[in-house]
Amino acid sequence: MEKDLSRIPIPEFIRHYWIAKKTQKDSPNVREKHLYRMVANTVKDKQSEAISLAQDFGKSALDYARISDHSLWPDDPAFGDSLGDSLADLRLFRVTQMNPLLLNAMQEFSSSADIAKTFRVVANFAFRYFIIGNQSPGNIERVSTALACDIRAKTYTSPRHIADALRAVSPDPAFRSDFSLASVEGRRIARYMLAKINNHLARQSSRTGSEHISNPDAKQVNLEHVLPESNPATWRPAFASGVNPKDYVYRIGNLTLLGAKINRDAADKSFADKKTIALDNSSLKINEIFRTIPKWDERQIEQRQDGMAKVALEVWKL
């Protein structure tokens, strides 16, 4: 277990294993401080049970480690770059609460393709429910526990079953509504989100020259707040009376991506200057809308974000 788990804490693995393999839907939360007692009560005076449990710990430890390390997966076309992207998304979102569900899916689903699809479904759900829906880790773990139990009971046997169940928790109308109102201050999450939307738009576009973003964390691509974080006074007259521009700085509709040098040149310039210096000449599909916008205010931010919410339904579909 220590060798296979590497830097993953063993108590974390055992707790998630216990949720995946032993917990019932109506059971109380499995707390780390109660793990020893739970394990001891299960194997007390039962030698064969103790040996069987230890063997399953050994088998499941490597599977658990694979949830966060793409290099550990078998050489299988289904476990290629797409699965690597799903694992990277889950690491970015820090939603280890979904690991019991994923562990059972890896061990119970029959095909490699079904396992890979389940990881994408779970990653999309985590973005919808945790990042945009702002749900608590406790809520996510309750969802994961229930589905892990259903997989173990063979009630759910495919990624389609998982997607249907998660869509009931995060319906499309709720996700679109949450997205259309959301603010994002985390720069890594913002870059990831904008890159995914841009690349989706670029793939759907019939125009030539639409640029994909291969790495949203690259130093060459910067996050840009169109209404700048510093919120200079020159921007205030564009907003309606009684509207505080600061409330819109981190709205998704106010965020975009630009090349690093162009972003530095635009910096805290006026919207007209930003259009001339950067936005109008950008080859990114996500910036195309700025060419037709004469001013930047709360209405434009809300309208752009509402349009992005519609695209988000396609990008993070269940």
Same domain, 11 and 79: yes
Same domain, 73 and 150: yes
Judge whether residue 110 has pLDDT over 70: yes
Q: Between residues 260 and 43, which one has the greater pLDDT?
A: 43
Is 177 part of a structural domain of the chain? no
Is 178 part of a structural domain of the chain? no
Sorted by sequence, the CB contacts under 8 Å of residue 106 that are 6+ apart come out as 63, 66, 67, 115
Q: Which of 63-72, 150-159, 203-212, 296-305 is least confident?
A: 203-212
Taking a C-beta distance cutoff of 8 angstroms, is the pair 295, 279 a contact? Answer: no
Question: Coil, strand, or helix at residue 75?
Answer: coil
Same domain, 164 and 192: no
Is 103 part of a structural domain of the chain? yes
Domain range for residue 293? 183-315
* For residues 75-80, average pLDDT: 96
Is 157 part of a structural domain of the chain? yes
**Identity (one letter) of the amino acid at 282?**
S
Rounded to whole angstroms, the Cα distance separating 36 from 15 reads 10
Same domain, 57 and 99: yes
Q: What's the mean pLDDT when you consider all of the chain?
A: 91
Per-residue confidence (pLDDT) for residue 216, from 0 to 100: 61
Same domain, 114 and 212: no
pTM exceeds 0.75 for this model: yes
- Domain count along the chain: 2
Q: Which of 1-15, 37-51, 162-176, 205-219 has the highest mean pLDDT?
A: 162-176
Boundary of a domain, candidates 145, 170, 195 = 170
Per-residue confidence (pLDDT) for residue 164, from 0 to 100: 98
Boundary of a domain, candidates 170, 203, 221 = 170
Judge whether residue 209 has pLDDT over 60: no
Q: How many CB atoms lie within 10 A of CB 40?
A: 10
Same domain, 220 and 122: no
